[in-house]
């Protein structure tokens, strides 16, 4: 069968798909910061390959994400130069101005199309598990609708069960 008859993948030129390593690392640092700020996991490295697939899928689905990621890189650089690293992330995560709609500032675009999406990804990869007070949840993961909760094997139910 000729190739043009095959089910289409996303149309993206191979060279455009490649984020440069520095930018990719900047995005990964953001993901790690999310884990720390909300204490969702102590081992973000375990999520790294999922993170990388996510970034590449976003760009494959919509090439404009490349521009969003570049914008994020510029924004965090500027914030860090101005406020220092700690305060830069604090502002990015908590400043209400970053959530204005429509997102017409560079800060708002960075927050809404990059930071907020990585927050959702973080939860979906199991970040929700440690959310909440483990003493109250008795160390059992708290699942959360909309997010993948781990393998549903008989010996491991990824939500809190009613005791029999």
Partner 1 sequence: MQTEIVVIGSGVAATALITKILAERPNTSITVLEAGGKIKLRDWALFQNYLITNKLPFDNQNIYDSCHDLSYPDRDKPGENKFEGDTEIPMVGARAFLYGGSTVHWGGWSFRLKPEDFQLRTSLKNKGIAPGDVIDWPFGYEEMEPYYHEAEHFIGVSGDSEDTTTPRSGKYPFPAFPFTLEDGLFIDAFKKFTEPVSYSHLPIARYGDTHANNSHGPCHTTGLCKYCPFGARFAAANNLDDLVQSARYPHLQILTNAIADEILMDSKTHATGVKYLNQKNGAWETIHANIIINAAGAIEGAKLLQRSALDRWKNGIGNDYDLVGRFLITHPYFFYKAVLPANPQMLQPEMGFPTLVSRYYDSPAEQHKGKFILVNPPSSPKVNLARSMSNGKTRDEIIKSIQTNTTVQLQGLIEVFSDRRNRVVNSEKKNRFGMRETKIDFYKSGDFDNRMKEVEAITKTIFGHMNAVDPGIENAISWRADHAACTTRMSNSPEEGVVNPDLKVHGTSNIYMCSNAVFSSLGAVNPTLTLTALSLRLGSHLLNQLKA
Q: Where along the sequence are the contacts to partner 1 (CB under 8 A)?
A: 7, 10, 34, 37-39, 53-54, 57-58, 60-61, 93-96, 98-99, 115-117, 119-121, 123-124, 128, 131-133, 136-137, 142-152, 154, 157-163
Q: Which is nearer to partner 1, 2 or 152 (by Cβ)?
A: 152
- Residue 24 CB, shortest distance to partner 1, in Å, is 17
Q: CB nearer to partner 1: give 22 or 101.
A: 101
CB of 143 to partner 1, least distance (A): 4
Which of 83/142 has CB closer to partner 1? 142
Ramachandran region, residue 39 (left: φ > 0; alpha: ψ -120 to 50; beta: rest):
left
Contacts of 56 (CB under 8 A, 6+ apart): 17
C-alpha to C-alpha distance for 123 and 117, rounded to whole angstroms: 10
- Closest approach of Cβ 90 to partner 1, in Å? 9
Q: For residue 88, what are its two tokens?
A: 């830069």
d(CA 67, CA 59): 9
Which CB sits closer to partner 1, 80 or 90?
Answer: 90
Rounded least distance, CB 123 to partner 1, Å: 6
Angle at 26 between CA 21 and CA 27, to 5 degrees: 100
The span from the CA of 127 to the CA of 3, in Å, is: 41
């Amino acid at each position: 069968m000729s190739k043009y008859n095959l089910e289409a993948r996303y149309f993206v030129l191979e060279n455009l798909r490649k984020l440069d390593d520095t930018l990719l690392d900047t995005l990964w640092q953001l993901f790690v910061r999310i884990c720390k700020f909300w204490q969702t996991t102590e081992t973000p490295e375990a999520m790294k390959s999922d993170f990388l697939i996510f970034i590449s899928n976003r760009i494959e689905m919509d090439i404009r994400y490349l521009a969003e990621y570049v914008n994020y890189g510029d924004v965090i650089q500027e914030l860090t130069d101005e406020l220092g690293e700690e305060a830069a992330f604090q502002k990015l995560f908590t400043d209400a101005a970053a959530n204005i709609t429509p997102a017409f500032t560079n800060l708002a675009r960075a927050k809404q199309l990059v930071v907020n999406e990585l927050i959702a990804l973080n939860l979906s990869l199991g970040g929700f598990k440690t959310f909440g007070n483990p003493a109250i949840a008795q160390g059992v993961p708290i699942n959360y609708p909309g997010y993948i909760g781990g393998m549903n094997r008989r010996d491991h139910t990824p939500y809190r069960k009613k005791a029999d």
